[in-house]
Chain A
Amino acid sequence: MASPKELKYSEEHEWVKEEGDKVRIGITTFAQSELGDIVFVELPEVGDELEVNEPFGSVESVKTVSELYAPVSGKVVEVNEELDDSPEFVNESPYEKAWMVVVEPSNRDELDNLMSAEEYDKLTDEV
Chain B
Amino acid sequence: MKREEQRLIFELSRPGRSGGSLPENDVPEINVNELFSSDYIRKDEPELPEVSELQLIRHYTALSNRNFGVDSGFYPLGSCTMKYNPKVNEGIARMAGFAHIHPYQPESQVQGALQMMYELQDSLAAITGMNTVTLQSAAGAQGEWTGLMIIRAFHEANGDHQRTKVIVPDSAHGTNPASASVAGFDPVTVKTDERGLVDLEHLREVTGPDTAALMLTNPNTLGLFEEDIVEMAEIIHDAGGKLYYDGANSNAIMGKTSPGDMGFDVVHLNLHKTFTGPHGGGGPGSGPVGVKEELVPYLPKPLLVKDGEDYTWNYDRPEAIGRIKPFYGNFGINVRAYAYIRTMGPTGLHQVSENAVLNANYLMKRLEPYYDIPYQQYCKHEFVLSAKRQKKLGVRALDIAKRLLDYGYHPPTIYFPLNVEECMMIEPTETESKETLDEFADAMIAIAKEAEEEPDQVLEAPHETVISRLDETQAARKPILRYEKAKEEQ
| Chain A residues packing against B (C-beta within 8 Å) | 37, 39-40, 60, 62-64, 87-88, 127
Contact = CB atoms under 8 A, between A and B. Distances in A.
Given A60-B476, A63-B398, A64-B418, 4 more contacts: A37-B473, A39-B476, A39-B477, A63-B414
Contacts of B362: none
B472 interface: yes
A110 to B, nearest CB: 22
Interface string B455-488: 0000000000000000011001100000000000
Contacts of B473: 37, 39, 62, 88
Given A39-B477, A87-B477, A88-B477, A62 B418 contact: no
A interface, by DSSP: helix, strand, loop or mixed?
loop
Contacts, number: 20
A84 to B, nearest CB: 11
Interface string B369-398: 000000000000000000000000000001
B interface, by DSSP: helix, strand, loop or mixed?
helix
A102 to B, nearest CB: 25
Q: Quick one: which of A62, A87, A88 has the most chain B CB within 10 A?
A: A62
20 contacts: A37-B472, A37-B473, A37-B476, A39-B473, A39-B476, A39-B477, A40-B476, A60-B476, A62-B472, A62-B473, A62-B476, A63-B398, A63-B414, A63-B415, A64-B415, A64-B418, A87-B477, A88-B473, A88-B477, A127-B421
Contacts of A127: 421
Nearest to A91: B473
Q: Quick one: which of B398, B414, B473 has the most chain A CB within 10 A?
A: B473
Interface in B42-59: none
B423 to A, nearest CB: 10
Contacts of B476: 37, 39-40, 60, 62
Contacts of A37: 472-473, 476
Contacts of A63: 398, 414-415
Contacts of B477: 39, 87-88
Nearest to A37: B473
A40 B475 CA distance: 12
Nearest to B477: A39
Contacts of B421: 127
Contacts of B398: 63
A64 B174 CA distance: 12
A64 B476 CA distance: 12
A19 B418 CA distance: 35
Contacts of A39: 473, 476-477
A60 B473 CA distance: 11
Nearest to B415: A63
A63 B414 CA distance: 8
Nearest to B388: A127
Interface in B293-343: none
A62 to B, nearest CB: 4
Nearest to A62: B472
B459 to A, nearest CB: 14
Closest 5 CB pairs of A and B: A39-B476, A37-B473, A63-B415, A62-B472, A39-B477
